[in-house]
Amino acid sequence: MGMARGVTAAIILMVVGQQAVAADLAHPACVQQAGASVTEAPSPWQIRLRALGVVTEDSGYVNAVPGSGLSYSNTVTPELDISYFFTDNIAAELILGTTYANIEGQGMIGALGNVGKVWLLPPTLTLQYHFTNLGAFRPYVGAGVNYTIFYNQDAGSADALKIKNTFGTALQVGFDYMVDQHWGVNFDVKKLFLKPDFDVTVGGAKLTGKAALDPWLIGAGVTYRF
Protein backbone atom coordinates (compact mmCIF):
# COMPACT_ATOMS: atom_id res chain seq x y z
CA MET A 1 0.00 0.00 0.00
CA GLY A 2 2.85 2.42 0.85
CA MET A 3 4.52 1.66 -2.47
CA ALA A 4 1.27 2.37 -4.35
CA ARG A 5 0.90 5.70 -2.58
CA GLY A 6 4.48 6.59 -3.44
CA VAL A 7 4.01 5.75 -7.10
CA THR A 8 0.78 7.75 -7.23
CA ALA A 9 2.47 10.78 -5.62
CA ALA A 10 5.36 10.57 -8.08
CA ILE A 11 2.97 10.47 -11.04
CA ILE A 12 1.10 13.52 -9.71
CA LEU A 13 4.37 15.46 -9.26
CA MET A 14 5.50 14.58 -12.80
CA VAL A 15 2.20 15.72 -14.32
CA VAL A 16 2.17 18.99 -12.35
CA GLY A 17 5.81 19.64 -13.26
CA GLN A 18 5.20 19.07 -16.97
CA GLN A 19 2.23 21.44 -16.91
CA ALA A 20 4.31 24.12 -15.14
CA VAL A 21 7.14 23.80 -17.70
CA ALA A 22 4.67 23.98 -20.57
CA ALA A 23 3.09 27.12 -19.07
CA ASP A 24 6.50 28.78 -18.67
CA LEU A 25 7.39 28.04 -22.30
CA ALA A 26 4.04 29.26 -23.61
CA HIS A 27 4.11 32.53 -21.65
CA PRO A 28 7.22 34.06 -23.31
CA ALA A 29 5.89 33.04 -26.72
CA CYS A 30 2.65 34.86 -26.03
CA VAL A 31 4.50 37.92 -24.81
CA GLN A 32 6.75 37.93 -27.85
CA GLN A 33 3.82 37.52 -30.17
CA ALA A 34 1.97 40.36 -28.48
CA GLY A 35 5.06 42.55 -28.77
CA ALA A 36 5.41 41.72 -32.45
CA SER A 37 1.78 42.67 -32.97
CA VAL A 38 2.33 46.06 -31.37
CA THR A 39 5.45 46.68 -33.48
CA GLU A 40 3.77 45.78 -36.76
CA ALA A 41 0.66 47.94 -36.24
CA PRO A 42 1.34 51.23 -38.10
CA SER A 43 0.30 54.62 -36.79
CA PRO A 44 -2.58 56.25 -38.70
CA TRP A 45 -0.49 59.44 -39.13
CA GLN A 46 1.87 60.10 -42.02
CA ILE A 47 3.71 63.18 -43.31
CA ARG A 48 5.48 63.96 -46.56
CA LEU A 49 7.89 66.72 -47.56
CA ARG A 50 8.03 67.39 -51.29
CA ALA A 51 9.52 69.71 -53.86
CA LEU A 52 6.47 70.84 -55.79
CA GLY A 53 6.35 72.15 -59.35
CA VAL A 54 3.33 74.39 -60.02
CA VAL A 55 2.56 74.41 -63.75
CA THR A 56 -0.35 76.67 -64.71
CA GLU A 57 -2.45 76.74 -67.85
CA ASP A 58 -2.18 80.05 -69.71
CA SER A 59 -5.85 80.89 -69.97
CA GLY A 60 -8.19 83.63 -68.86
CA TYR A 61 -9.69 86.86 -70.11
CA VAL A 62 -10.81 90.39 -69.29
CA ASN A 63 -14.52 90.96 -69.69
CA ALA A 64 -15.49 93.54 -72.33
CA VAL A 65 -12.11 93.13 -74.09
CA PRO A 66 -12.58 90.60 -76.94
CA GLY A 67 -9.42 88.67 -77.76
CA SER A 68 -7.83 89.36 -74.38
CA GLY A 69 -5.77 86.63 -72.72
CA LEU A 70 -3.63 85.97 -69.66
CA SER A 71 -0.57 83.85 -68.89
CA TYR A 72 1.07 82.97 -65.55
CA SER A 73 4.56 82.03 -64.43
CA ASN A 74 5.40 78.49 -63.29
CA THR A 75 7.20 77.96 -59.97
CA VAL A 76 8.86 75.36 -57.73
CA THR A 77 8.16 75.47 -54.00
CA PRO A 78 8.48 73.26 -50.88
CA GLU A 79 5.28 71.57 -49.76
CA LEU A 80 4.19 69.66 -46.63
CA ASP A 81 1.32 67.22 -46.48
CA ILE A 82 -0.31 65.45 -43.55
CA SER A 83 -2.25 62.20 -44.00
CA TYR A 84 -4.53 60.26 -41.67
CA PHE A 85 -5.35 56.61 -42.44
CA PHE A 86 -8.86 55.56 -41.43
CA THR A 87 -8.06 52.03 -42.66
CA ASP A 88 -5.12 50.46 -44.52
CA ASN A 89 -6.75 51.58 -47.79
CA ILE A 90 -8.63 54.80 -47.01
CA ALA A 91 -6.83 58.01 -46.04
CA ALA A 92 -7.35 61.78 -46.03
CA GLU A 93 -4.52 64.10 -47.07
CA LEU A 94 -4.10 67.84 -46.45
CA ILE A 95 -1.41 69.64 -48.46
CA LEU A 96 0.11 72.92 -47.30
CA GLY A 97 2.34 75.18 -49.36
CA THR A 98 2.49 78.65 -50.85
CA THR A 99 3.85 80.12 -54.07
CA TYR A 100 3.47 83.12 -56.37
CA ALA A 101 2.45 83.86 -59.94
CA ASN A 102 3.39 86.69 -62.27
CA ILE A 103 0.45 87.61 -64.51
CA GLU A 104 1.11 88.68 -68.10
CA GLY A 105 -1.30 90.20 -70.59
CA GLN A 106 -1.80 88.30 -73.86
CA GLY A 107 -3.66 88.89 -77.12
CA MET A 108 -5.43 92.24 -77.25
CA ILE A 109 -3.91 93.26 -73.88
CA GLY A 110 -0.40 91.99 -74.66
CA ALA A 111 0.91 95.58 -74.63
CA LEU A 112 0.28 95.69 -70.87
CA GLY A 113 3.10 93.22 -70.27
CA ASN A 114 3.27 92.31 -66.58
CA VAL A 115 -0.17 93.08 -65.16
CA GLY A 116 0.84 92.16 -61.61
CA LYS A 117 2.12 89.58 -59.16
CA VAL A 118 0.17 87.61 -56.58
CA TRP A 119 0.96 85.08 -53.86
CA LEU A 120 -1.39 82.16 -53.36
CA LEU A 121 -2.01 79.68 -50.56
CA PRO A 122 -3.96 76.69 -51.90
CA PRO A 123 -4.70 74.22 -49.04
CA THR A 124 -6.16 71.09 -50.63
CA LEU A 125 -7.94 68.20 -48.88
CA THR A 126 -8.28 64.89 -50.72
CA LEU A 127 -9.78 61.51 -49.87
CA GLN A 128 -7.53 58.71 -51.13
CA TYR A 129 -7.66 54.99 -51.88
CA HIS A 130 -4.33 53.19 -51.34
CA PHE A 131 -3.52 49.86 -52.99
CA THR A 132 -1.81 47.65 -50.40
CA ASN A 133 -1.24 44.32 -52.18
CA LEU A 134 1.95 45.30 -54.05
CA GLY A 135 4.51 45.08 -51.25
CA ALA A 136 6.69 48.15 -50.80
CA PHE A 137 5.11 49.82 -53.87
CA ARG A 138 1.93 51.57 -52.71
CA PRO A 139 0.06 53.53 -55.39
CA TYR A 140 -3.00 55.63 -54.63
CA VAL A 141 -5.67 57.78 -56.25
CA GLY A 142 -7.62 60.63 -54.72
CA ALA A 143 -10.13 63.43 -55.21
CA GLY A 144 -11.04 66.42 -53.11
CA VAL A 145 -11.58 70.14 -52.66
CA ASN A 146 -9.34 73.19 -52.66
CA TYR A 147 -9.70 76.70 -51.28
CA THR A 148 -7.15 79.16 -52.64
CA ILE A 149 -6.29 82.36 -50.79
CA PHE A 150 -4.65 85.16 -52.80
CA TYR A 151 -2.49 87.63 -50.85
CA ASN A 152 0.30 90.21 -51.29
CA GLN A 153 -1.23 91.27 -54.59
CA ASP A 154 0.89 93.86 -56.38
CA ALA A 155 -0.18 95.63 -59.54
CA GLY A 156 2.37 95.94 -62.35
CA SER A 157 1.24 97.85 -65.44
CA ALA A 158 -2.31 97.86 -64.02
CA ASP A 159 -3.37 100.57 -61.60
CA ALA A 160 -4.92 98.04 -59.22
CA LEU A 161 -5.45 94.27 -59.13
CA LYS A 162 -7.64 92.14 -56.87
CA ILE A 163 -7.96 88.37 -57.39
CA LYS A 164 -10.74 86.86 -55.31
CA ASN A 165 -10.35 83.81 -53.05
CA THR A 166 -12.17 80.81 -54.46
CA PHE A 167 -13.01 77.12 -54.11
CA GLY A 168 -11.85 74.51 -56.60
CA THR A 169 -11.72 70.75 -57.04
CA ALA A 170 -8.73 68.41 -57.22
CA LEU A 171 -7.82 65.03 -58.72
CA GLN A 172 -4.72 63.10 -57.62
CA VAL A 173 -2.58 60.08 -58.44
CA GLY A 174 0.71 59.02 -56.90
CA PHE A 175 2.70 56.37 -55.11
CA ASP A 176 4.89 55.74 -52.09
CA TYR A 177 7.78 53.28 -52.20
CA MET A 178 8.52 52.27 -48.62
CA VAL A 179 12.17 51.59 -47.78
CA ASP A 180 11.26 50.32 -44.31
CA GLN A 181 8.33 50.49 -41.89
CA HIS A 182 8.63 54.26 -41.48
CA TRP A 183 10.54 55.80 -44.40
CA GLY A 184 9.74 55.93 -48.09
CA VAL A 185 9.94 58.03 -51.24
CA ASN A 186 6.94 59.64 -52.91
CA PHE A 187 5.86 60.88 -56.33
CA ASP A 188 2.54 62.69 -56.69
CA VAL A 189 0.55 64.55 -59.36
CA LYS A 190 -2.50 66.70 -58.67
CA LYS A 191 -4.72 68.63 -61.04
CA LEU A 192 -6.52 71.64 -59.54
CA PHE A 193 -9.50 73.12 -61.32
CA LEU A 194 -9.13 76.73 -60.24
CA LYS A 195 -10.74 79.71 -62.00
CA PRO A 196 -10.83 82.78 -59.73
CA ASP A 197 -12.56 86.03 -60.66
CA PHE A 198 -10.60 89.28 -60.50
CA ASP A 199 -11.06 93.04 -60.58
CA VAL A 200 -8.49 95.18 -62.38
CA THR A 201 -8.13 98.91 -63.01
CA VAL A 202 -6.21 99.98 -66.12
CA GLY A 203 -5.92 103.62 -67.18
CA GLY A 204 -8.63 104.54 -64.70
CA ALA A 205 -11.08 102.01 -66.22
CA LYS A 206 -12.39 99.38 -63.83
CA LEU A 207 -12.70 95.96 -65.43
CA THR A 208 -13.46 92.39 -64.33
CA GLY A 209 -12.33 89.03 -65.62
CA LYS A 210 -11.53 85.41 -64.91
CA ALA A 211 -8.10 83.81 -64.44
CA ALA A 212 -8.25 80.17 -65.51
CA LEU A 213 -5.15 78.93 -63.64
CA ASP A 214 -6.05 75.19 -63.50
CA PRO A 215 -2.52 74.26 -62.32
CA TRP A 216 -0.78 70.90 -62.30
CA LEU A 217 1.00 70.20 -59.00
CA ILE A 218 3.86 67.76 -59.63
CA GLY A 219 5.74 66.72 -56.51
CA ALA A 220 8.51 64.37 -55.38
CA GLY A 221 9.90 63.87 -51.89
CA VAL A 222 10.12 61.72 -48.79
CA THR A 223 7.43 59.95 -46.73
CA TYR A 224 7.47 59.25 -42.99
CA ARG A 225 4.86 56.98 -41.36
CA PHE A 226 4.73 57.30 -37.57
Query: Residue 94 has what pLDDT?
Result: 98
Report, in angstroms and rounded to the nearest whole number, the Rg of the chain calculated over CA atoms.
31
Query: Residue 40 has what pLDDT?
Result: 63
* Cα(12)–Cα(136) distance, integer angstroms: 54
pLDDT digits (tens, 9 = 90+) for 152-194: 999 999 999 999 999 999 999 999 999 999 999 999 999 999 9
Position 103 pLDDT exceeds 80: yes
Query: Residue 142 has what pLDDT?
Result: 98
Sign of CA dihedral 88, 78, 164, 58: negative
pLDDT digits (tens, 9 = 90+) for 104-152: 999 999 999 999 999 999 999 999 999 999 999 999 999 999 999 999 9
* Cα(61)–Cα(132) distance, integer angstroms: 45
* Cα(168)–Cα(99) distance, integer angstroms: 17
Query: Residue 21 has what pLDDT?
Result: 40
pLDDT digits (tens, 9 = 90+) for 4-41: 444 444 444 344 444 444 444 444 433 344 333 344 67
Query: Residue 42 has what pLDDT?
Result: 82
pLDDT digits (tens, 9 = 90+) for 194-226: 999 999 999 999 999 999 999 999 999 999 999
pLDDT digits (tens, 9 = 90+) for 39-96: 467 899 999 999 999 999 999 999 999 999 999 999 999 999 999 999 999 999 999 9
* Cα(17)–Cα(202) distance, integer angstroms: 97
